[in-house]
Structure 1
Amino acid sequence: MDFCVIIFLISTIGITSNQVAAKSEDLSNTRNETTDLKWTASPARNGWEELSGLDENLRPIRFYQVCNRNDPDVDNWVRTRFIPSQGAKRAYIDVEFSMMKCDSAKTKNCRETFNLYYYENDKDVASSTFPPWRERPYIKIDTIAAGKRFINGDSNEKGINRKTWTLGPLKKKGFYIAAHDKGACMSLLSLRVYYYYCPETTISLATFPKTVAGKNVASLVTIQGECVNNSKRASAEGPRYHCNSNGEWRVRTGTCQCLPGFQASENMKTCQPCSDGKYKIGHGNHACSTCPRNSISSNTESASLRSVSSTIDRIETPTYAPDFCKCLPGYFRTESEDVRQPCTMPPSPPTNVKYIVNETSASIKWDEPSELGDRVDVYYNISCEKCSTDSYTKCTECGSRVIFEPGNRRHITTNHIRVHNLEAYTHYQFKISSINGVTAASHAPARYALIQVMTNQAAPSEVLNVRTVETSSSGFTVAWSLPKHPNGKVLGYEILIREKNSDDEDKGDLSAFLLEPNNPVLYETQNRSIAISDLKPGKNYEVQVRAETAAGFGGYSHMMITQTNKDTGPITSNSPNSSRLAVLIGIGASAGLLLAVIITVYLLYNRRRKAHASQRFEDGSSENKEDSFEDARHLIVQLPSYSSTQRLYVDYPDPQKGVREYACEIDQAFVEIEDTIGQGEFGEVYRGKLGSPSSGNTEQVAIKRLKQGASVKDQLNFLREACTMAQFDHPNVLVLKGVVTKTRPLMILSEYMENGALNNFLKRHQGELSILQLTNIMHGIAHGMKYLSQMQYVHRDLAARNILVNSDLICKVSDFGLSRTLENDPHATYTTQGGKIALRWTAPECIRFREFTSSSDVWSYGIVMWEVMSYGEKPYWNMPNPDVLNSIDEGYRLPAPYECPSVLHKIMIECWAMEPKQRPTFEQLVQRLDEIMSSPQLFKDDSPTSESGDASSNQSNKSVED
């Protein structure tokens, strides 16, 4: 081939390095060589020949050419120098060549192809004779043909061929490339050997190193990334990226999150400290927040950053950034408030304090402080000191004798208080302190208003030691001691005498005595004794004494009972109290006998009740009960009936106080949240585990968690529900396990009820339960409602959806929130001026007058009975609300569900009496269901009904048509 032609051809070849610069790296490239290539050729002469030329930029390049067409035994080889693989497992070869087209008439041995081979080795071992010049040990890459681009002698013709091949998977540290000619006339213009890689990159706060592509076409090389400075892994796995065979990053998993006090940059490549006036708590890639009111960002070292291990996350140099905003001087947060809350301050003293002293009582009133400290939880504390002089310098605590109204003077939520039982003519001073949630956090005394008063005259206290000193058949002599607190000069005494009949009950106080007088007689004297005459012999008399001062009469003394003699002679007592002592001994003996009788009756009743309950439990449960529903069809298990001395339900104005008194505070570290099981009014409800710090055991619980951003009202209602649940303790009422209130978010932990709400449970087991099992369900609900009614708690939303069923199929009353979100179904609620109520379950008086009582809960219980017997059917079906109301007012009632015994439907009808007083109580309902369950023949004797015409209440025997 003419040399000028070769130079022209070389000048027309161009490459675009930008196409591969970012993703590939050359192992060998003849275009970049500036000296001889020094490839090995065989034969050394008259075969492949190395030549020089110029490219399009007039830069010198080296290439090989061969042209032995007329030699019938042509066998020309040329081999590159050793090419290190540099860790690549897959290499690519770009070959550029030109070839003369054969003229079969002139050359018989002409070829238009050549072969390409490679040979792998861990080091450079090749020589002029090794490896042998043959296909084995060389590995053939391909037989290369020129295609349609040939050189025919025209210097302007561009016959450049470009082809690419792949080598792999490579197993050694390097390789050689060899070209084999069998009679072609051609030029090997360039040879480029390269591999693909994924370049180093930073994405989503994770840095990934340069990564060589995999050995196969479909290979994905997994690379573990490192989080950038001031960030950490979001999970234990950490960030990962996958490099494909073309040097492209694909399929990224795992993320990094900026540390507290840092936020992600816009390009997500760095974590930057929060700027002045901003902060960020917790790990995450959200932006820094503006400091809450009355706080500034802290420039101290982030405690969260110091705790992060540098062995897990890439933290080279500690960086300090604000993860909270500290309060300005004079402002504070409570222990339960997190750093997102604004800082507040203690209140100023109460203003406009006024008081009125009435003898030995005082009424104090005040207005709220002029500065509330940006809080609404202000309350007051009043202290009382008695002073010896009008200088008010020597003062001591008032003591327990002084009575305050309201009684808790350490936490007064009103702006007034009354003080009783002060001493007459005495100096007192009162400090009314203003307190809110951050007063204790300020470590400074609460600010207070001081008033100083002096009491005036007062009536005397009770007369002491009333006793009989002498008796006769016609009278007796009574003596007494001075009142403990005369409160002035005693002007005289008043003595009240009344004959005590044998059938009279011991009244024990003066009020009862005066309400039922039996010819009482009043005597007056200035002495501390008096002789009473003209009385009946052998009779008992009741005696009380009170003292009088200028301020009036004091209270009567305790009642003393004495007796006149049966004979006529006077009998002087050796002991002033002997007569009274005898009477007291007689009363004590009678009381002791009565107490013994009461205890005996109670023990017999309790033993009989327990035996009855135990028998019911044994009859209704199985010792080898399996978990499956089919193996538990005998009876739904109920606990023995609950009996204990009940206190009354307390509706705390401040639910936080009730939670502290009743609920168990749980460390959030022992709470593990698992799955979401529902949506509550204030947040989501989860299934989780509660660990025991002492034993290490865990139990499943239901966790209601307050949603983020909840208002103060939502927080109070959330705590009010916990306060309500904490006061209940009954087998058929949902049990509160504890609360989390000292950390955020707030949580209520209750026992986990595996079978969920009763209405859904019934629908899942349509027609699978016996009449006795359904009755047992209603019996358990009635037991729980009996307990709540005895606690004087009105549920107001009793429905099957608010009854939960556990794995033992025990039903428990739940949902004790006072502010409820009812069903979204517009047909299920009825709007009144006072809000929304569940109309289909609500008694008429509640709809008309918003009057909720235990009797209105009984109406709702009748609807629940209907739901149970109809397997969760919707009451009144799809009737519009106005039609439901009109039907109830006209006396219509729900018909008996399919196969419902009329004895049960009659109970429903009684629960739906229009007049609340005509409805049965829950105690009566429990008794009725006990009788029915103990006599199953009532189900058989009483035929099932599908219409309600035969079952009527006091109002009507009509039923709602389908």
Structure 2
Amino acid sequence: MSRGPQGSVFISLMLLVSVVLFQWEVVQRTLNGSQFYSYSVCNVGEREQDNWLRTTFIQRRPAASRVFVEIQFIVRDCNSFDGASLTCKETFNLYTSESDADVGTTFRKGQFKKVTTIAPDEITSKNDLRINTETRVVENLSRKGFYLAFQDIGACIAILSVRVYYKTCPATVKSLASFPETVAGGENQALKEVNGVCTDNAISENLPRIYCTVDGEWVVPVGQCQCKPGYEEVEDTCQECQQGFFKAAASGDKCEPCPANTQSLKSGALSCPCMDGFYRSHICFLLSPLRKLVLSWSPPADTGGRNDITYSVDCQRCESNVCQACGEKIRYEPASTGLTDTKVLVSELDAHLNYTFTVEAHSGVSLLALPRSKPPSTSALTTSLHYTGEYPPKITSMRLVERTPTSLSLSWDVSPRPRALSPPIRYELNYRKKDDNLGMTTYTVLKLEKNLVQVNELNPGTAYLFRVQAFTGDGGNKISLIYFYCFLGHLPQNNTAVIFGAAVGGAVMLFIVAVVLFLRRRKRNSHTRQGPEDTYFSSSEQLKPLKTYVDPHTYEDPNVAVLKFATEIHPSHVTKQKVIGAGEFGEVYRGILKAPGRKEVAVAIKTLKPGYTEKQRQDFLSEASIMGQFAHQNIIRLEGVVTKFKHAMIVTEYMENGALDRYLKDHDGEFSSFQLVGMLRGIAAGMKYLSDMSYVHRDLAARNILVNNTLECKVSDFGLSRVLEDDPEGTYTTSGGKIPIRWTAPEAIAYRKFTSASDVWSFGIVMWEVMAFGERPYWDMSNHEVMKAINEAFRLPAPMDCPSAVYQLMLQCWLQDRSKRPRFGDIVSLLDKLLRSPDSLKTIADFDPRVSIRLPSTSGSDGSPFRSVSEWLESIKMSQYSENFTCAGIVTMDQVLQMKNEDIKNIGVRLPGHLKRIAYSILGLKDQTSTLSVFAV
């Protein structure tokens, strides 16, 4: 083996030895002046071709259960052969077989399982040689090694090379934690958790860990290590503090220089002791930029023979030559009195103030002294200091100065701060018009030098949202957001404008009259917009969108689109709790959002992985710009975004049950048809809302539907979505990229043109997924086979126990002519009628176990029987019952064929759906003529 790039390990396999060679020939060719050898077969004129080529034994690393097979090959165009169009093929098949030992030249086709059918992207003509490169994945390997085999069924093909490799996350050091090389997981373990070890002289409260993705990338480090006291981080190592520097605690901070009147005589110092002569009459202190300081002192030179010495600290704060007690605001650790150690931590200091600290030493006899006298057993020392920590501006109030029907003047106050020591303050005022509909129609930003502004050219009778931000003139962070809603209109002369606002971190003050007027207006508008077509909508869906979806990609600056359609969240209001998945741009967390004035809510947090490009950041945030335009109970709700800080985040509502396909697989057979149709109704309602906004999703699938704890389904994942043209029949033509073949309409695959009608086709596939409890559409057929079958008018069969009316609706969604497919409004109406008449769901569509159960009677295309009961159960997704069969003594397939329904119940299969699946599969096993196919419409 030789190590390759990007954490992958490659096994060199050039088909130098072939132990099975039926009709294949070793051919020497010349390409670009270089000679190479290939394995070729070209019997296109003969029928019933079955030519096999097998590799030598490939040993497998125990942890590598998932390998990649990269094949370079050439396929000849069948049209270049005269008279062979009926027998010539342009594809070949890839098979695999596992083994614990090399079987030599022994070859049995029944031992091989089909991986996929491989088709070329480019076909070679007589005079034009085209080399194709395809990569396929072989999953769930468990034995010591395996073989690969290639089956030709009548093509003219040459295999040039084969490379087999698996991916690893390389050994690395992240956040001072060392992680070993780790083999990437498979489809059942997308994120493999790996524990690490802190590097030398680093420690961590929690065990450091990280996740290895299936692509061989490290993501989401957890439990950061920090350098020990006396050490600082230097290029992923912890090195001792230099002489004259110190670090008192384990942290990510750098070593700090010793303050005045202190010294450090050696490297790796934890503290800097006071120099000789600086005790008794002076305090040696360390000033921290974090509003903290450490006071330390030397004990009295003469204790009078007492060993019960304690200390107390008193604080005075002085401002404008006026001093007063610091009060309860100042915090002391461990305390301000009764101290037995000669140091104390003082925190919660205010910037730019003078503080005077007095430390007194006490002994047991101090308590006997008169209150107004200083006993000999009490000594005191005093020092003053000026604290100059960060002093951010803070907006304390906002006022309406003057108003007209089309303008207003606002002013605001800022907390006092020492002007001589502080940079100037600047302000940013944002305001936008907020209407009764989904979006904001205007967004204006004003840069201001003063805390006063006049805003003109406002629309009468319109609500505006104002926000002011203060920041230091040197470009410091913006803080102290204050929001104001201002309703303008022709009010009576004596009336005051209605203004209500909310300061970040403070309470929200709402003016009751304004709210009542706003809600009445909203209610009145909702009645005027409702039409006959909304008969089947619930009350929360009655507000039809009045505004067409706006594509954020049309904005010259994508950041403007994000600001327009999404609410900015401060990262301190978001708490990450647990990794629940990995998206295209980074990890997804479950977390908590606690915004000012709102109760705490559970959220999902999408993050942008480190090292992103600006293009990736814009693409990441564009999804938020899309979601922010939608407001529907069956569309995932955007809570807000974090864009103004280093780590961008998208925060959405949290859906407890996760993706619909996985949820249905985990609860196979547990829901009635009525419940499943209810889920479909919610999805259809969400899609109707999108189509009414002239919006096409392009990636509608059960994996992109999320489920909450009340089984309410919501459409999500708008990464492939694009806007339609103004014409309801308009299309969007992509410029490349991946298309989810199994869910995509044929016209979208062929011409890359997408409409709401193509979304309807995808909804039909989602209906099939739901009624089949998360089964993979078209089972293990390759994308090439799926496209061929659809073009030949084949359609998926009815799932087991699927109501006939539901299956007929699926077939309508899959009509070849897109103009004849139902619209989402029609689909919602029909599903509502079915739900109002549950008896209509009792008529079950025809079901054939030979078709609907994946690989019901064979383990390979050659018709050989299953080798074991566990293999058969795995093929029908019932592996959880393997132990039940074993305990009942049913260990051979012959015994399985003798089982009746009562026998299946007796071994512990209770769920009706599982009982039927096993029973139907046994029925299919008994039919020796069964084959894997799909029904034609």
TM-score normalised by the chain length of structure 1: 0.36
Which is greater in Rg? 1
